[in-house]
Structure 1
């Protein structure tokens, strides 16, 4: 009976440390976020962090994974896979931006890590790079829309990359300019890519 209890406690502690790391990153930035700062926020010693994580890099990778997992769960809950391709694309964009709007702290923490790790080859984990795992589902959606006749003829790859870049840039804008009208920005992107992909425009 003791082992499940210990596992629960360890999981809760790891979650607490990751959440405190996200708080520190969003408020202090990557360079000023240290294990000591995170430990203070969690009201624990740095040795406790070292018990669960191999170091700052290991903890940062866990932060990246946590943000992406939560974002995926959020979008899955808002996307109806039985909807037409045109509606799916609109929902894809809207749900991505809705997650960012409602979780700016997490998005800012992720951005801090990515910005500082981008110049170090091999440091960023796969989920933080625009690889097949991110772009392929979007490409498949675009191809499906072409097959059903909802979308015009175009190369799905550059369109998928452009959509992802637009979403990421929107989140960066919201972090930099928190007073920006996010609803208007979201609707503009939805309209932009609806016109860019729709057949017969």
Structure 2
């Protein structure tokens, strides 16, 4: 998976063939890859799942360490920015897959962007904040979508501006959403 992700990140989705991936791993042929994966679609689907699984493990550890909704929301924002900063190749591969992956007989990778279950974790965090009174009343769906899309755009920003100040980005988003969610005293 690592070689697949690195190949996509370096060469782009369309150039990431079994042959290129085998070359990166030092395999003499593509047979070992095709033994485990029937098609490029299956390999790419697994690469995307690997990226999201690694991200989920990282985020869960960071966010669950906090005992208040406000702290957890800030940790969510800062941790995702940190992960994107420290895993640029994975994020570049995810962007490539997102923009180009159209599996046969399946749905496009863009379906992940419209899958509302992907927002469930942030909606639960926001509902928790409302239940405790730390957050004001608002639509958790709208706020979750807004938080998530502000973060989802970061890999695209880094493609356009690789030297973007990610500490500033995290600070601004954390402050923005703290003000947007905060219950008034």
Length-normalised TM-score, structure 1: 0.84
Q: How big is the shift at 1:123? A: 3.6
Q: Secondary structure at 1:31's aligned position in 2?
A: helix
Residues 22-48 of structure 1, C-alpha deviations (whole Å, 9 max, x = no match)? 111111111111111111111111122
Structure 2 partner of 1:21: 4
Q: How big is the shift at 1:136? A: 1.2
User: 1:35-54 maps to which residues of 2 (within 5 A)?
Assistant: 35-44=18-27, 45-54=29-38
Query: How many residues end up aligned between the 2 structures?
Result: 183
**Residue 10 (structure 2) pairs with residue 31 (structure 1):** no
Q: Secondary structure at 1:122's aligned position in 2?
A: coil
Q: How big is the shift at 1:110? A: 1.0
CA distance in 1, matches of 2:69, 2:11: 41
CA distance in 2, matches of 1:181, 1:118: 33
Moved more, 72-81 or 90-99: 72-81
Higher RCO (C-alpha 8 Å, min separation 6) = 2
**Aligned Cα root-mean-square deviation (Å):** 2.1
Stretches of 4+ aligned residues off by more than 6 angstroms: 118-121
Q: Secondary structure at 1:90's aligned position in 2?
A: helix
User: 1:22-101 maps to which residues of 2 (within 5 A)?
Assistant: 22-44=5-27, 45-80=29-64, 82-101=66-85
- Evaluate the alpha carbon distance shift between residue 189 and residue 82 of structure 1 in structure 2; reply closer, same or farther with a 3 A threshold: closer
User: 1:1-201 maps to which residues of 2 (within 5 A)?
Assistant: 18-44=1-27, 45-80=29-64, 82-117=66-101, 122-124=107-109, 128-200=112-184
Length-normalised TM-score, structure 2: 0.91
Q: Which has the larger radius of gyration?
A: 1
Unaligned segments of structure 2, at least 5 residues: none
Unaligned segments of structure 1, at least 5 residues: 1-17
